[in-house]
Amino acid sequence: MSADDQPTGGQKPYMRNKSISCYLCFLLNSHFLTEAGIHVFILGCVSVGLPKTEANWKDVISDLKYIESLIQSIHIDATLYTDSDFHPSCKVTAMNCFLLELRVILHEYSNERLSETVRNVIFLANSSLSSNKNITEYGCKECEELEEKDIKEFLQSFIRIVQMFINTS
């Protein structure tokens, strides 16, 4: 397991330390003290602070696995609408249902580590889904039409759909 595969455990991967990148940006751009060089420097520094999106789905999986380990120590008996046999043409609709059900966990359980990790999953998944927001998928089940399953099955199905997003990106 590499360092990138470690569960973030509720930490915000989009808020990682950026100081090394800023210093590198400054060093690279210090030779270009022209007006264009200053613009490149400013844009470089701004881009360092932007959320990273290329690995968001892998971070979502890490956080979901962390949630799986947390629920073993926390008594959670939730049943959640779970799309366990989603069709690839309905993946955005299914993902939105999973995210809605995560909000149920936020409202029903007050464990701080769990809540922080769930909020992080919601943030990362929504930022990764932002390019798919205007996609309309037809013939997909509504969230309430899905079968209710226990949280362990819910998380396993959630991980499978995230892997589908990784494989098609």
Among the ranges given (19-28, 59-68, 104-113, 142-151), the one the predictor scored with the smallest mean pLDDT: 19-28
- Neighbour count for residue 103 (Cβ, 10 Å): 12
pLDDT of residue 40: 59
DSSP string, 10-43: T--GGG---HHHHHHHHHHHTT--SHHHHHHHHH
Single-letter amino acid code for the residue at 168: T
Residue 5: pLDDT band by 50, 70, 90 thresholds? Answer: very low
Confidence of residue 3 (pLDDT cuts 50, 70, 90): very low
Q: How confident is the model at residue 88 (pLDDT cuts 50, 70, 90)?
A: confident
pLDDT above 90: residue 133: no
Look at residue 1 in the predicted model and tell me its pLDDT.
41
Q: b/e per residue, 108-134, with b = 16+ CB within 10 A?
A: ebeeeebebbbbbbbbbbeebbeeeee
